[in-house]
Amino acid sequence: MTVNTADLAARLAKAVADRTAIDQLSGEFGELDLATGYAVQRELRTAAGPLVGWKLGLTSRAKQAQVGVSDPIYGFLAGANALDLGAPLDTGNLIQPRCEPEIVFMLGRDLAGPHVTAADVIAASAGVAVGIEVIDSRYRDYRFTMADVVADNTSAGRFVVGAPVPPAGIDLRLVGVVLERNGEVVATASGAASLGHPAAAVAWLVRRLAADGEGLHAGEIVFSGGLTAAAPVTAGDVVVASIDRLGTVELGCR
């Protein structure tokens, strides 16, 4: 059976517009492969309007255990989905939002190539910041295969980025990460939770993009992967992500 990637992308786009979860694609279309997943994502990317950067998924052990995989994946960040600091998250616009604390890299210059390492990523970064990613799977109950979630732009929903600080002198592997919801600690981690070092996760992305002749551009941001299990949120919740040496971002939900 031939898979029409435009049709699959349209289903996902409709789920976003309808704010209604759909069944995972891979059941209906046999075992969807990863390349097809990225082809569907590319259709969505083309239609997404201005892009501001990239995001990594499945980089933490907690997250990998949650869905039973062992490789990272990536997606794109659409400018339309950025929340400003202090702006509320409208949960009514989403299907099943969950929040994750992440370390965000802001590129100071272009970075591309098949041999980029974590050190190159740090050298190319103008700043690093606390981020909260609001993931929102379009699949019912977050039930998906790896190809499904790649097609769904790695569950990207909304995102908010704190004020950046220069990365020099900060060991991002060791910085403490605390996620609170309504004043209660729901999870902790250190930066190493993302592939052993968040800059290594970004380096993985650059090498992966190089295979498609793409790379990172100055001014783009990269969400380097959720550092804890994602915390579900509903209207009325307040989520706070704190990362030592980087700062704190608060997100109110309505």
Partner 1 sequence: MAVTDAPAKARALYEARRTRIPIPPFTDAEPDLDMADGYAIQAELVPLLLADGDRIIGHKVGLTSKAMQQLIGVDSPDYGPVLASTVYRDGDTVPLDRFIQPKIEAEIVFVLGERLAGPGVTVTQARAAIAGAVAGMEIVDSRIADWRIKLADTVADLASNGAMATSSQIVALDGTDPRLIGMTLTRNGELIDTGAGAAALGDPVAVVAWLANVLGEHGVALEPGHLIMTGALHAAVPMTFGDVFRAEFDRLGPVTIRVGGSA
Residues that bind partner 1 in the complex, under the rule CB under 8 A? 61, 171, 173-178, 180, 184-185, 188-193, 196, 227, 242-244
CB of 174 to partner 1, least distance (A): 4
Residue 130 or 221: which CB sits closer to partner 1?
Answer: 130
Residue 7 or 171: which CB sits closer to partner 1?
Answer: 171
Residue 193 or 202: which CB sits closer to partner 1?
Answer: 193
Alpha-helical (H) ranges within 19-117 are: 25-28, 34-46, 61-67
Both tokens assigned to 191:
């930066």
CB of 189 to partner 1, least distance (A): 5
CB of 172 to partner 1, least distance (A): 9
DSSP string, 155-199: GEEEEEE---B--TT--TTT-EEEEEETTEEEEEEEGGGBTTSHH
Alpha-carbon gap, residue 100 to 231, rounded angstroms:
7
CB of 223 to partner 1, least distance (A): 18
From residue 139, how far is each of 90, 95, 148, 168, 229 by CA, in Å? 19, 9, 9, 40, 18
Residue 125 or 242: which CB sits closer to partner 1?
Answer: 242
Residue 48 or 201: which CB sits closer to partner 1?
Answer: 201
Residue 120 or 244: which CB sits closer to partner 1?
Answer: 244
Both tokens assigned to 241:
């992500």
DSSP conformation class of 236 = T
CB of 243 to partner 1, least distance (A): 8
CB of 184 to partner 1, least distance (A): 8
Strands 82-83 and 156-161: parallel
Strands of 50-182, DSSP E: 51-57, 73-78, 82-83, 98-107, 125-135, 156-161, 176-181
Report the largest interatomic distance among the alpha carbons of the chain, rounded to a whole angstrom: 54
